Amino acid sequence: MPGMHVKFAILPEDFLGHLTEAAYHVSLKHGLKASFLEVEMDLYEALRKTMEEDIAVCETCGSKACLATKRKSIDVWSKDAANLYGES
């Protein structure tokens, strides 16, 4: 079963920063004069482009061959996750 994951080299905080920056720039572009739908659609496109930069697609994600299925999930903001990234 195909799936996807954030690139292993990017830290969750960095990924969040990229998404936030993209959303912020779109919000500034529209200010308060644009309709919600216009802002929503532009945010969608900006976040989509950012995700294309930071998410990798893998044929085996979700299958028995994927490493993510071989151990329990760790919450992205937990101490255990920070230890994996060397941020403790």
| Six token digits for residue 35 | 């309709």
Compute the chain's Rg from CA coordinates: 16
26-57: per-residue pLDDT in tens? 988 888 778 888 888 989 899 988 888 877 66
- Total-model pTM: 0.61
Please tell me the distance from the alpha carbon of residue 45 to that of residue 43, in angstroms, as a whole number.
5
Instruction: Give me the pLDDT at residue 1, please.
Output: 42
